[in-house]
Amino acid sequence: MRRGSIDVVVPAYGNYPLTNACMEHLAAQTRPHHAIVVDDGSADDTVARLKADWPRATVLEMGANQGYTRAVNRGVAEGQGEYVVLLNNDVELRPDFLAKLVAPLDLDPAIGSVASLMLVPGEQSIDSFGVTADVTLAGFARLQGAPPQAASGPRPQLTGPEGTAGAYRREAWEQVGGLDERIPAYMEILDLALRLQTAGWRAASAPEAIGVHLGSRTYGRRSSEQRRLAGFSRGYLLRRYGVLRSRTAARALVTEAVVTAADAVLCRDLQALRGRLDGWCAARALPRHPSPPASALDETISMRRSLELRRSAYRPAQPSG
């Protein structure tokens, strides 16, 4: 393993023009790296075009759609870099992005992960600056909707990188076992961040590692499938971390009741509730994770603020162009 080497893992599922644009931004980076693209069962000609247009990249084929977590773990396992960067294919990067993102890892061996600053198209507000979590382990995109200059502040507390674009020390990743493949999508990055901090690894932020997130192009914002998967992840983490047996149990129960009831009224189905029940059942026979350290949670996020952040998910998506 060469010191300071970087593997960039890019999951892809169809829509080759989007992935190709991402690869063009990677090709313009000032810091050397190795790109690993994991095709998660695309039905189009994505794989053939990737191999033809980007011969220096490693292209892995999952064969069939197996979900984000399995695709990412496969890509990370394929590499040998000291650092691993997870990158969505719907992101545009400044040329110095990778150099700025891994700089904290270069400087401090105690840092296990680094969050980047993702802006919305137009760069007038923040899409995410890592992920934060309240005391019930509900996770939120940190500083979403705030002006870019807000990235210099210490709050909300940083739990870890967002899945859009973040860096990890491979040693830390392998120590905690990477992403939990029982979580097909949503909150798997939060879970990883919690486990990394529990294992003693620090999370850092890189406000000068700037990119633009074009927005979700896979499940669709607040689609039925998205709400089911997000509900599954929430139910799974509530049980896996023993939240309903902790001092925050009452708050968690009330919050989830409000959220699932609102979802049922607004969307006229029970997908959010069904997902939570399925996730709760999926964690039944699994050992409980230790409670995360205080450094992983933002105790200043009140129940009211948590509900406000949940409600923002129902607002219409901003146009990406």
CATH of the domain at 85: 3.90.550.60
Q: Is residue 321 part of a domain?
A: no
261 and 147 part of one domain: no
Q: What's the pLDDT band for 314 if we cut at 50, 70, 90?
A: low
Closest alpha carbon to 189 in 113, 246, 124, 119: 113
Domain range for 45: 6-213
- Alpha-carbon distance 170 to 172, whole Å? 5
Minimum mean pLDDT range among 11-15, 100-104, 215-219, 299-303: 215-219
199 and 276 part of one domain: no
Q: What is the pLDDT of residues 219-255, one digit of tens each?
A: 445 688 989 999 999 999 999 999 999 999 999 999 9
Last residue of a domain, one of 155, 186, 213: 213
Q: Is residue 58 part of a domain?
A: yes
Q: Is the pLDDT of residue 282 over 50?
A: yes
Length in residues, the chain? 321
Give the count of beta carbons closer than 10 Å to the beta carbon of residue 276: 24
133 and 169 part of one domain: yes
Q: Is residue 187 part of a domain?
A: yes
298 and 160 part of one domain: no
Q: What is the pLDDT of residues 73-121, one digit of tens each?
A: 999 999 999 999 999 999 999 999 999 999 999 999 999 999 999 999 9
Domain count, the chain: 2
Per the DSSP assignment, residues forming a β-bridge with 132 are 140
Q: Is residue 80 part of a domain?
A: yes
154 and 238 part of one domain: no
Q: Is residue 218 part of a domain?
A: no
- Alpha-carbon distance 114 to 100, whole Å? 10
246 and 275 part of one domain: yes
27 and 72 part of one domain: yes
* Res 154: pLDDT: 86
267 and 123 part of one domain: no
Phi-psi group of 320: left, alpha or beta (phi > 0 → left; psi -120 to 50 → alpha; rest → beta): alpha
Last residue of a domain, one of 213, 240, 274: 213
12 and 32 part of one domain: yes
Q: Is residue 164 part of a domain?
A: yes
Q: What's the pLDDT band for 153 if we cut at 50, 70, 90?
A: confident
Q: Is the pLDDT of residue 50 over 60?
A: yes
Q: What is the pTM of this model?
A: 0.93
Q: What percentage of the chain carries pLDDT values higher than 70?
A: 95
249 and 130 part of one domain: no
Q: Is residue 319 part of a domain?
A: no
228 and 196 part of one domain: no
Last residue of a domain, one of 172, 189, 213: 213
122 and 247 part of one domain: no
Q: Is residue 244 part of a domain?
A: yes
